[in-house]
Amino acid sequence: MKVFVFVLSLISLGFADDEINSRYFPKSFKFAVANAATQIEGGWLEDGKTESIWDHFAHTHPEKIGDHSTPDIACDSYHKYKEDVAMVKAMGLDYYRLSIAWTRILPTGYPDKINQAGVQYYKNLFAELKAVNVEPMVTLYHWDLPQALEDELGGWLNETVADLFAEYARVCFELFKDDVKMWITINEPKQVCQAGYGSGYYAPGVVSDGIGEYICSKNLIMAHAKAYHIYDNEFRATNQGRVTMVIDTSWSEPGSDSAENQEAAERALQFGFGLYANPIFIGNWPQVVIDRIAQRSELEGFATSRLPAFTDEEIAYVKGTYDYLGLNHYATKMVNATADAPIGDPAYWKDISVSTWGKPEWPNGAGDWFSVVPWGLRHLLVWLKKTYGDVEIVITENGLSDTTGIIEDDHRISYYQGYLSACLDAIYEDGVNLSTYTAWSIIDDWEWTSGYGIFLGMHYVNFTDPERTRIPRKSAGWFTNMVKTRCLVDTCTE
């Protein structure tokens, strides 16, 4: 019943089949699927791996995970990676996006001892991918900081961790220089900092709203830049790969044409996406972010802004540390301006000063973390081009979450059709330099605080079955055919 209503809503929103873009994807366009170590690997303490902040969080705070589960086994990909690669091959994909677990390579967090068993696991995985002609797209940090660095140094609130990340990156660049060309330093800095060190909703659960998250943001950006420069100076000439940071954002649609609401929507984008993208693509934090946090900090009695400043040297060092723009996208929000909150305890939401909501007719838009609004992706792609120039954009994540897990997932097919059609519109109508689309995900996984309670995979996994058998959903067949035909409907034109 739920699915029926869902599909109907998609049709009533104007994403019926006849409105899907019927151009072929350009021949150079690439298709991929994504995953992350904590979410699929399992083997959490196996062969020398140590505890990450998410292992620790799930074990020590089960009440913070929807189903009180842990990622101890997850999809057991540590043992079943060959099955994962076989699925990727069967789908005819160009890239397989995965992440390396820092705790598998450097168990202490420091570059003092390389864990050969961990290295071998990824070497085997890369060899398996190579054998079927699929390129790895590799994230170095997908949220799994070694717990030791949280305990000993305070994690991402300590700038020394940025140096340690750079050391870890150098180790990986060296170890896997023959295997990987497409690198991602850090995945979704906003979630790492705002949820990890602001609201405390994510691991490591530090609550420091309006303070910790900004300190974390600067340290993450510096960590990224250090890793980028190491690659540039020591590996680029021989490895000829590419490096970027992956940043997530919803699209912010102004609630009305008023200048105030237009500005509010822009402000929301700058506080969410610009906070990370601006230093890298333009130089320094966005001005609106600098100004608002400085003003409120002063009124709150702080001697300096809660947003740590970049020095001129740091601005120059960070600016330009990208080879493409990596985008994760899951939602659209309506945005209006609100009156500034009274001065009191600092908070990120008070710094932004907007109200956001989802339209009830958008599937899941009325209250979930994601919403199904394909035109939001198109607007976002156009905004990225306008804001950051004609940079190559790689969509590194986009996908549909549901709570049913049903195999006949027609609603996921409609979702991919709608979002991929928005990509075609952006490429052909708006001239956006979009090269790649990555679906999240090929397989159900451990979804952080939602545990095993939500499903995003094109393959179903029964997490109570010790074999963790992968079973294709209907969407896997549709996606496979789409990759093969490069077309979203029955007949396409060039």
Active site residues: 188, 397
Contact between 58 and ligand NOJ by CB under 6 A: the answer reads no
Expressed in percent and rounded to 5, the helix, strand and coil fractions of the chain are 45, 15, 40
CA distances from 439 to 52, 241, 417, 442 (A): 26, 22, 12, 7
In the bound state with ligand NOJ, the residue whose beta carbon lies nearer, of 427 and 443, is 443
Residues binding ligand NOJ: number (CB under 6 A): 9
The reply on whether position 444 binds ligand NOJ by CB under 6 A is no
Instruction: Kindly state whether residue 397 participates in binding ligand NOJ, applying the rule CB under 6 A.
Output: yes
Of these, 199, 270, 328, 438, which contacts ligand NOJ (CB under 6 A)? 328
**φ, ψ at 424 (rounded to 5°):** -60, -40
Based on the shown chain and the rule CB under 6 A, indicate whether residue 456 belongs to the binding site for ligand NOJ.
yes
Q: Which is nearer to ligand NOJ, 138 or 427 (CB)?
A: 138
Whose Cβ is closer to ligand NOJ: residue 143's or residue 281's? 143
- The angle at the Cα of 88, spanning 82 to 91, to the nearest 5 degrees, equals 140
Q: In this structure, what are the phi and psi dihedrals at residue 473, rounded to the nearest 5 degrees?
A: -85, 170
Contact between residue 451 and residue 410 where contact means Cβ atoms under 8 Å apart: no
Within 171-190, the residues that bind ligand NOJ by CB under 6 A are: 187-188
In whole angstroms, give the CA distance from residue 245 to residue 228.
9
What is the per-residue DSSP string for 198-226?
Answer: TS--STT----TTTHHHHHHHHHHHHHHH
Of the candidate residues 33, 36, 91, 186, the single one contacting ligand NOJ (CB under 6 A): 36
Q: How many CA atoms lie within 13 A of 383 on its CB side?
A: 22
Contact call for residues 40 and 470 (beta carbons, < 8 A): no
Output 440 or 478, the one with its CB closest to ligand NOJ. Answer: 440
Min CB(139)–ligand NOJ separation in Å: 9
If one asks whether residue 402 binds ligand NOJ (CB under 6 A), the answer comes out as: no
What is the nearest approach in angstroms of ligand NOJ to the Cβ of residue 456?
6
Nearer CB in complex with ligand NOJ: 323/444: 444
What would the DSSP string read from start to end of 107-128?
TTSSTT---HHHHHHHHHHHHH
What angle is formed at CA 484 by the lines to CA 480 and CA 488, rounded to 5 degrees?
Answer: 80
Q: Which of residues 144, 250, 447, 488 is near ligand NOJ by CB under 6 A? A: 447
Does 144 help bind ligand NOJ (rule: CB under 6 A)?
no
Which residue number, 191 or 284, has a Cβ lying nearer to ligand NOJ?
191
Question: Smallest gap, in angstroms, from Cβ of residue 210 to ligand NOJ?
Answer: 23
Task: Report the Cα–Cα distance between both ends of the chain, in Å, rounded.
Answer: 38
Q: Does 128 bind ligand NOJ (CB under 6 A)?
A: no
Q: Which residues lie near ligand NOJ (CB under 6 A)? A: 36, 39, 187-188, 328, 397, 440, 447, 456
